[in-house]
Amino acid sequence: MTDLAVPPVSESLVAEASALLLAPAGLSPARLSQVIASIHQRDVDFADLYFQHARFESWSLEEGIVKAGSFSIDRGVGVRAVSGDRQAYAYSDDITPAALDEAAAAVRAIGRQGQSASAPVSRRGPARTLYRGDDPVASLDESAKVALLERFEKMARARDPRVVQVMASIAGEQETVLIVRSDGEIVADVRPLVRVSITVIVEENGRREQGHAGGGGRFGYAHFDDARLDEYAKHAVDGALLNLSARDAPAGPMTVVLGPGWPGILLHEAIGHGLEGDFNRKGTSAFSGRVGKRVAAKGITVIDDGTIAQRRGSLNVDDEGHATRRTVLIEDGVLTGYMQDRLNAALMKVAPTGNGRRESFAHLPMPRMTNTIMLAGAHDPAEILASVDDGLYAANFGGGQVDITSGKFVFSASEAWKVENGKLAYPVKGATLIGNGPDALTHVTMVGNDMAMDTGVGTCGKDGQSVPVGVGQPTLRIEKMTVGGTR
């Protein structure tokens, strides 16, 4: 095999991951080649080994006291064999030659009897530097983390005397992965991830309301300086105070304006999941078989982009060792493709898009979103709001549910306003948005020029697996959306 030129960053990542994951067990590239070859004793189309070492911590403060703290280390290896549309998977939290051989033996059963195939594990896969490899867990000592939470709480309480309770938390993670594939690629990544969040409860005349805020990404705790923490505290307190004066939400079909940033969670849930390759290969998505057809109003372009520096949903490589990329899913209203992992891409005869993701070494990869974004349009947000005579403005969202097959969704708005004569008339509570994702896309009549990303708080669940994600969108005007209210 011809030696390949290896980018210095890629070489250093592989060396770092190998020292952490392979060296303690005496595992070498030659030994890994033997394991891959043993899986291919039967007719297996593809095999890979996924090594992972992850350090997690979380701290939470309530009533001025740090009431909970946790620290854990997860370490293990997953072994996969793929034959046609079948996958066999075994994993162990013990990284040793014996455990690796046992897992390889377990997955060999999937293969049909046939010739063997293998490749020497020697090449280094693609590398990016979307984030630094600095360990956030080790970046501050325990006293500094406690002090951060205490400052955070004081900032919120200082905002308004009606604040009666504050709950703040921080969480950090340092994950190292090494992926060895039967096509000869060996790929490594070192992934930092941090997040802070705050919840405040305010009280006035016996009525209590709450507000939330926070942020995060693939960087260290130094990102959360006092100015940024104060911004989060202000947002949480302002949201809670706004809810004190909120009226019951109206109900019925109406024009809805979605704010920029986090409201993109509706795009993620109601539309993004339906554009993942596995649902479309199986024909269970509302978007199945519609590539090349109009699925949204003109002017709507939706992408999934795992290459945005330091974003929560970004990755240098996905969990199958493919470089992440900017994938256009809908362009000017026309469906152009789906998000793919290796298995579904092969079965659909298209290229992987770098969207193969898994929660840990104990899970199979599947097509998952990274940062899912609707691109900006031409309209000023003020122009969009002024165009609405009677409707609802949803500035922020809480939870929601979606049915992938039908595209039907229900989302609750945590901050919403009644719009009258082109202006925000008064805040409302209890508003839910009810609709169908593909149908809602066709009723977008104005797209703002203010595309914004969320602050870095999203976690996506699918088939029992959770992964960090990002969302983004501009201000949108949507016609004929059903609002479930409290009056």
Q: Which tens digits make up the pLDDT trace of 343-379?
A: 999 999 999 999 999 999 999 999 999 999 999 999 9
Q: Is 383 helix (H, G, I), strand (E, B) or coil?
A: helix
Nearest CA to 106 among 132, 126, 77?
Answer: 77
Task: Please name which of 473, 466, 468 lies closest in space to residue 397, comparing C-alpha atoms.
Answer: 473
- The residue type at 121: V
What's the angle, vertex CA 280, arms to CA 278 and CA 284, rounded to 5? 100
Q: Which two tokens stand for residue 83?
A: 């034959």
407-454 confidence digits (pLDDT tens): 888 999 999 999 999 999 999 999 999 999 889 999 999 999 999 999
**What is the mean predicted confidence (pLDDT) over 60-88?**
93
Helix/strand/coil for 476: strand
**Confidence (pTM):** 0.94
b/e map 122-153, b = 16+ CB within 10 Å: ebbbebbebbebeebbebbeeeebbebbeebb
The tokens describing 310, both together, are 């330091």
Instruction: Please report the pLDDT score of residue 393 as a whole number.
Output: 98
The string of pLDDT tens digits covering residues 212-233 is 999 999 999 999 999 999 999 9
Between CA 473 and CA 303 the distance in angstroms is 10
Is residue 246 within 8 A of residue 476, CB to CB? The reply is no
DSSP state letters, 264-319: HHHHIIIIIGGGBHHHHHTT-STTTT-TTSB-S-TT--EEEES-STT-TT--SB-T
**Burial of 412 from C-beta contacts in 10 A (0-12 / 13-18 / 19+):** middle
For residue 114, the model assigns a pLDDT of: 41
**What local confidence, expressed as pLDDT, does residue 112 receive?**
52
* Block residue for tokens 């983004």: 472
The SS3 call for residue 256 is strand
Tell me the H-state helices in 326-369. Answer: 342-348
Q: Are 438 and 226 contacting, i.e. CB atoms less than 8 angstroms apart?
A: no
Residue 211 clears pLDDT 50, i.e. is over it: yes
| pLDDT single digits (tens) 240-257 | 999 999 999 999 999 999
Rounded Cα gap, residues 286 and 439, in angstroms: 10
Quick one: what percent of the chain has pLDDT higher than 70?
94
- Decide if 254 contacts 391 (C-beta within 8 A): yes
235 DSSP 8-state letter: H
